[in-house]
Structure 1
Amino acid sequence: MTDQPLLEVENLRIDLLTDGQRLSAVEEVSFTIMRGETFGLVGESGCGKSITALALIGLLRAPLVIGGGRIRLEGKEIQSLSGPEMRKLRGNRISMIFQEPMTALNPLSPVGRQIAEMFVLHKAMGWKEAERHAVQALDNVRVPAPERRMKDYPHQLSGGMRQRVMIAIALACGPGLLLADEPTTALDVTVQAEILDLIRDLSKEQGTSVLMISHDLGLIANMCRRVGVMYAGRLVEQRNADEIFESPSHPYTKGLVASLPLLGSRAKHGRQRLREISGVVPPVSSFPGGCRFHPRCYAATDMCQTTAPAETVLVRGGLVRCHHLESSI
């Protein structure tokens, strides 16, 4: 890694326009990703992780719109780029692995052509040359017999192979930033490990930065150097990954970490029910005032119901939004 950030997100706000109202689905989200770094974004479903990634790559669709803030990629602001300008970046300098490759891939086109299209659009290659590069791209993601697989349609591939094709498309043009949105969803654990190893190895080889989005804390701990924890559209904690899991500061982060099963705990203490955070993430239309986590928080007070906490810089590094941090943290 270098000391220059590849991606800078500053006070990003994403609004939901519905029934004449403008609701804030994501607000005050700020983070940076350094060159060559893998940054994790975690939280329960509905916290705003995926729409944050879609905003970064310019794929938000009505009724969602960027309501404010700045997104800088390699020092250039991209949040206000026109459609054609964004298409030049998308797939070239910033790419995305979507949650479900079966719906992200074109079912009517062979996978080889879908990969080759990246070289035609962004590298101005002819189709013959692009297809040769597509074969190499499939080989890079460890697809066996890539020449034969070039002619396969998505439905002819297994889930793991479809995900490899998605990775080949995303990395075809050597992007500086890869957005990986739940890249191992619906895959068995063996294939999950293979996909994660593949992303890690390719990131190191090509120097690509990665934004890894997941609700799987084990995956994040394994892949990421720094982690941002998101709840109801706000980042509530940002710290180094080892510190997040060893000594979480925000009550929501503590709840997430406490819900993880511990290896050997059953043998030591007998059958134990996993701990859980009471309640659910509220919908955008019902975000509470003050701290949005207060209805589910064991430490909530009257202040939490009326006043949103500001970011607190921790002595050991990192940021937390909570009114009740211990002074020694």
Structure 2
Amino acid sequence: MSQKPLLEVENLRIDLSIGDTKFPAVQDVSFTIGRGETLGLVGESGCGKSITALALIGLLRHPLSIGGGIIRFDGREIQSLSPAQMRQLRGDRISMIFQEPMTALNPLSPVGRQIAEMFVLHKGASWRDAERQAVEALASVRVPAPERRVKDYPHQLSGGMRQRVMIAIALACSPDLLLADEPTTALDVTVQAEILDLIRDLCAERGTAVLMISHDLGLIANMCRRVGVMYAGRIVEERAAEDVFRAPSHPYTSGLVASLPLLGARARQGRHRLMEIAGVVPPVAAFPAGCRFHPRCRASTEICVAADPEVTLLPNGGSVRCHHHE
């Protein structure tokens, strides 16, 4: 990997407008992704993972908007690009696998034409050549009989096949960065494994960097070298994946890891009780003062209620946002 990051996000803020008031749905989010690297972003539903990805690719819509910060892609700031400039970048150098392919794919267009459109718009190919490349793209994601499948509509495909089509569209132009938002949602475990292996192999072959978004810690542990843990619109811990799962620093990360089932003798003997984190992620308009996790944290003290914790750099690499991380 190049020492210069491919993607740099600095103090990103995403505002949610409710009437005349703006609330920070995402605040002070910073991370980097190197070329060919896979970064995982985990957290409960509603913590801001998906809208962070949408901000990176320029797809935020009212009532959401970028309220501040810098998104730098390959040395170029892109947070203020015009819609036309973002369209040139999106799909070509930055692509996204959306959470639900049935809503992301056009139900009125054959999947082959939807793939071919990428080659026409971004590579200047003729429709005849693009349709041939669409067949090759389906073959690359291991869709059987791709010459026939290019004529199918999304509703004619299984969930796993639709997800493969989404991957084919996202990787059609060999992007430098792939944003994968819950790429295995609603798929059975066998198909999940196939999809993850497919993403890993294709991205390794093409040198594509990946931002993998999920609430599935097993998936993240299997796919990612580094992990960012997100809570209530902030990254509360960001470290090497091995360190996050072996010795988490933030109480929220500890709670997530403790909620994982164990294998082995203790599990078979029924001695392992899964831990749960009390409460729910607070709504954007009601984030608590101080540390946003303190109402649910078993280690909370007065300082957690009174003061917002700063980001602390850890000696062995990474960072954490907690008063009591030691």
What TM-score, normalized by structure 2, do the two folds share? 0.99
> 1:222-263, CA deviations, whole angstroms, 9 ceiling, x for partnerless residues?
000000000000000000000000000000000000000001
Sequence identity percentage: 77
Please say which of residues 46-55 and 260-269 is displaced more in the overlay: 260-269
The Cα shift of 1:10 comes to 0.3
The Cα shift of 1:266 comes to 5.0
CA distance in 2: counterparts of 1:6 and 1:229, whole angstroms: 20
Q: Does 1:19 align with 2:19?
A: yes
Structure 1 runs not aligned, ≥5 long: none
TM-aligned CA distance change 1:239 to 1:110, over 3 Å: same
The Cα shift of 1:51 comes to 0.2
Q: Which residue of 2 aligns with 1:290?
A: 290
Q: Which residue of 1 aligns with 2:73?
A: 73
The Cα shift of 1:55 comes to 0.2
TM-aligned CA distance change 1:132 to 1:20, over 3 Å: same
Matches within 5 A, 1:1-329: 1-265=1-265, 267-270=267-270, 272-326=272-326
CA distance in 2: counterparts of 1:258 and 1:26, whole angstroms: 26
Secondary structure class of the residue paired with 2:33 = strand
Secondary structure class of the residue paired with 1:5 = coil
CA distance in 1: counterparts of 2:94 and 2:268, whole angstroms: 47
TM-aligned CA distance change 1:271 to 1:22, over 3 Å: same
TM-aligned CA distance change 1:265 to 1:66, over 3 Å: farther
The Cα shift of 1:273 comes to 3.5
CA distance in 2: counterparts of 1:297 and 1:183, whole angstroms: 30
The Cα shift of 1:264 comes to 2.0
Q: What amino acid maps onto 2:207 in structure 1?
A: G
Moved over 6 A (4+): none
Structure 2 runs not aligned, ≥5 long: none
CA distance in 1: counterparts of 2:266 and 2:111, whole angstroms: 45
Task: Give RMSD over aligned pairs.
Answer: 0.9
CA distance in 1: counterparts of 2:237 and 2:199, whole angstroms: 25
The Cα shift of 1:267 comes to 4.5
Please say which of residues 47-56 and 16-25 is displaced more in the overlay: 16-25
Q: What amino acid maps onto 2:63 in structure 1?
A: P
**Contact 2:99-2:183 within 8 A present in 1 as well:** yes
CA distance in 2: counterparts of 1:104 and 1:86, whole angstroms: 18
The count of residues paired between Structure 1 and Structure 2 equals: 326
> 1:41-64, CA deviations, whole angstroms, 9 ceiling, x for partnerless residues?
000000000000000000000000
> 1:3-46, CA deviations, whole angstroms, 9 ceiling, x for partnerless residues?
12110000000000112111000000000000000000000000
The Cα shift of 1:321 comes to 0.4
The Cα shift of 1:325 comes to 2.1
CA distance in 2: counterparts of 1:97 and 1:108, whole angstroms: 20
CA distance in 2: counterparts of 1:272 and 1:324, whole angstroms: 26
Secondary structure class of the residue paired with 1:47 = coil
CA distance in 2: counterparts of 1:20 and 1:247, whole angstroms: 43
> 1:196-235, CA deviations, whole angstroms, 9 ceiling, x for partnerless residues?
0000000100000000000000000000000000000000
**Contact 2:45-2:215 within 8 A present in 1 as well:** yes
Please say which of residues 303-312 and 66-75 is displaced more in the overlay: 303-312
The Cα shift of 1:117 comes to 0.2
Secondary structure class of the residue paired with 2:88 = helix
The Cα shift of 1:2 comes to 2.1
**Contact 2:262-2:272 within 8 A present in 1 as well:** no
The Cα shift of 1:113 comes to 0.1
CA distance in 1: counterparts of 2:275 and 2:129, whole angstroms: 55
The Cα shift of 1:305 comes to 1.0
Secondary structure class of the residue paired with 2:236 = strand
Q: What amino acid maps onto 1:323 in structure 2?
A: H
Q: What amino acid maps onto 1:155 in structure 2?
A: H
CA distance in 2: counterparts of 1:213 and 1:270, whole angstroms: 32
Q: What amino acid maps onto 1:91 in structure 2?
A: G
Secondary structure class of the residue paired with 2:106 = coil
